[in-house]
Structure 1
């Protein structure tokens, strides 16, 4: 192939690590950002606004992944990954500098834009590293994608711990600015690395073949819909943990995210082997069951111990979802190549874009209803305010637990169908 496969793989790891650190730090600083900039502007709808701002990163992720996946080989992986690093630099600077540049509601709009641009960087990363890894390791795709995506929780650990332990030493803007370090590394390494020659799918005929692979096989859209739901079970709750649970369980919600990320980091190194024994649909079915139980337990948690137990169940459920979904699509629709992977990745990102504001809206509606109206809520302070917001947070997580229950049906039917097909193949003629 004439390229350094190991160097390319670790460049992919760094790009995903940067995206993850950015997501973790956005979540870690969300409460401080909300208190400093959004609560004074719009206290009644502050939860929905911070949810929408966090969700804008996923909109940028989804749209970029959809477009860049189709044009990956025409634009070139080097340009895509260089652009990835540049977007994280620009997006981070917009977020941390919004208060110095603007005032009032304009601050919120700049924060929203900064998170959107960071999401574009994330989309450029996923658009390139997933097909690159599948091409570099065609003989071991599921395992390699799980190892690669183990570094997403790896970045969540680093970013989450930085957000917690530096909070008393640095302003949240400086903490968010830590994203600049790995982002610059991505730019420098991408510019000095040789990439493999694009495959036949880079031609117009090849792109047509990618699209026909998806259009001619309607079963692909089952996986597309399933990705929407798996991401709703994984990414959206992760971004909402610190905002919703910190007061109620007596510990920073971002620490729960760090703990879950540690579970993911370890488990994803073994998920490929487990999928080999169960099959991908089997692993996804078990993951959905644990995710549903864990989300409901999180909605009921009232202490650090109960929150850790609930997070363990939820974390074990969602840890293999994203990479196993990508590996399933890569294996079942190989001619779809980068475009098929980009489509399902876009579905996952769009889920968080729609679900996060909805979580914030449910939270805002519940807190006003529990308080007895908007005027009554604005008069609440101290323990009374905390009690109302804790009850509202519980309701938002309980409703989200319904999502993976749908996946039990979807993956269960796919699993059964695959087993039947395998038995028919094994039967002698």
Structure 2
């Protein structure tokens, strides 16, 4: 690519994702501060943390729809300034509203990073997209490792305030701003390949229904009066109605396969399995005889190493094989964590869980790019946004479950999600195999 510094742009993208990741570790650490020192309930903390996820989704959806209009460079700098404001607001947070507002800006900043950098990485490395997406996403678990160790060092060992921990975010923020400054950023792959905007929308299958469904999920995650109660049939009726609407829009209106909406559904479950568990790690494993932040560092450290070497594994097992194996191992990991007693068993169980969720996020993004390439940046943004908004729904539900049923029952209930994924990925592998057979 003429006048494009691939290495510098890739490093800048990784540092931007590092900021995103460290915010996750910080939230996992300071949730106890806001319950113990500021008097919020765990459900309130879950709701105040929610914007970090649905704000992510809003920014990703907006980025997906408009990135080719406003250009990737604009979205990158939006991410920088949203991160800057969010970090400053988080430093001043003292109650529910201020914590909520800080997470709105941080979530929008995090989402803008993914909306810009996922398509940027695929544009920089068109011949090894899934491999480099996994390399890029090394910095999500890698950043959580760094953030977890810093949290333990700063707050537990040095007894410094949580504000000192949050201030660390300014370092990678300034670095990625410097590296992006003055650089030529290439067009997205969709633009360079000549796929029209209309065709991109059509290949999403049901863009209108999916967008409305995500808005509804954000309301459920944010507004207490929209709280989901699974004691009634209403949530299941709504899910069925959304599924029917997707089929009608995809098959009757757009007359196209529903493969992308199916991948979208799987992303809701993979993200909730991974992020819901790690965000509540402090409360889930507080009584297991080992520092929860150490466990978080172990989990995310394994994920970082696994993602770095993902290329050879994906080559041997293929994308659907990796996803199916991940779902099986994730189920085992959650069940083991639900019965873990003592430091040794907790570490082993956490390691199994880490291996299970390791490849979920980047491989799901890669699956969309590989199996539905014409969905372009919009497809990748929808998946990333949907994953985070699903997590924002799960967080208050998990918080309430931890308070009422306890950590072990909560972990056992969470294992239902990867069990559903096992069935879904078996179906996906059959569909992809049949598609390849038809092409041959």
Q: TM-score scaled to structure 1, two decimals?
A: 0.86
Displacement of 1:203: 12
Question: Where does residue 87 of structure 1 map in the other structure?
Answer: 82
Change (3 A) 1:199 1:145: closer
Instruction: Give 1:263-342 correspondences, 5 Å limit.
Output: 263-342=302-381
Map 1:188-337 → 2, pairs under 5 A = 188-197=178-187, 201=191, 206-215=196-205, 216-246=256-286, 248-337=287-376
Decide whether the 8 Å contact of 1:88 with 1:179 is kept in 2: no
Q: Is contact 2:154–2:164 with CA below 8 Å preserved after alignment?
A: no
Cross-structure match for 1:401:
415
- Which deviates more from structure 2 when the two are superposed, residues 182-191 or residues 8-17? 182-191
Deviations 1:198-251 (A, max 9, x none): 5663999822121011123311100000000000110110111012212x1012
Alpha carbons 1:141, 1:327 under 8 Å: kept: yes
1:17 maps to 18
**Map 1:90-129 → 2, pairs under 5 A:** 90-99=85-94, 107-129=95-117
2:28 aligned residue: 27
Structure 2: which 5+ residue stretches go unaligned? 206-255
Using the TM superposition, give the Cα deviation of residue 417 of structure 1 relative to its aligned residue in structure 2, in angstroms: 3.2
Q: Is 1:68–1:124's contact at 8 Å kept on the other side of the alignment?
A: yes
Flag the 1:255–1:117 CA change in 2: closer, same or farther, 3 A: same
Aligned mates of 1:93, 1:403 — CA distance in 2 = 36
Query: Aligned partners of 1:347, 1:200: CA distance in 2, in Å?
Result: 21
Cα shift readout 1:235-294 (whole Å, capped 9, x = no counterpart): 110111012212x10122121111111111111122222112111111100100110110
Q: Verify the 8 A CA contact 1:29 1:176 in the aligned structure 2.
A: no
Assess if the C-alpha contact under 8 Å between 1:38 and 1:50 holds in 2: no
Secondary structure of the structure 2 residue equivalent to 1:138: coil
Distance in 2 separating the partners of 1:79 and 1:424:
41
Relative distance call for 1:198 and 1:226 in structure 2 (3 A) is closer
Specify which of 126, 136, 139 is matched with residue 127 of structure 2.
139
Q: Give the aligned CA root-mean-square deviation in angstroms.
A: 1.9
Given the alignment of the two structures, is residue 415 of structure 1 paired with residue 422 of structure 2, yes or no?
Answer: no
Secondary structure at the residue paired with 2:183?
Answer: coil
Q: For the residues of structure 2 that align with 1:162 and 1:228, how far apart are their CA atoms?
A: 30
Moved more, 262-271 or 322-331: 262-271
* Matched-pair contact (CA < 8 Å) for 2:71–2:187: no
CA distance 1:424–1:75, change in 2 (3 Å): closer
SS in 2 for 1:166: helix
Q: Choose 1 or 2 for highest CA Rg.
A: 1
Check conservation: 1:285, 1:412, Cα contact below 8 A: yes
Task: Single out whichever of 266-275 and 398-407 deviates more from structure 2.
Answer: 266-275
- CA distance in 2 between partners of 1:25 and 1:205 (Å): 40
Secondary structure, counterpart of 1:38 in structure 2? coil
Cα deviation digits, residues 94-119 of structure 1 (max 9, x gap)? 122123xxxxxxx2111011112111
The separation in 1 between residues aligned to 2:181 and 2:72, in whole angstroms, is 10
How many residues align? The count is 387
Moved over 6 A (4+): 202-205
Aligned-partner Cα distance in 1 for 2:416–2:187: 45
Specify the alignment match of 1:8 in structure 2.
9
In 1, Cα distance between equivalents of 2:412 and 2:404: 15
**Deviation of 1:185 (Å):** 2.1
Structure 1 window deviating more from structure 2 (266-275 vs 121-130): it is 266-275
For the 8 Å contact 2:259–2:372, the answer to whether it is kept is no
SS in 1 for 2:268: helix
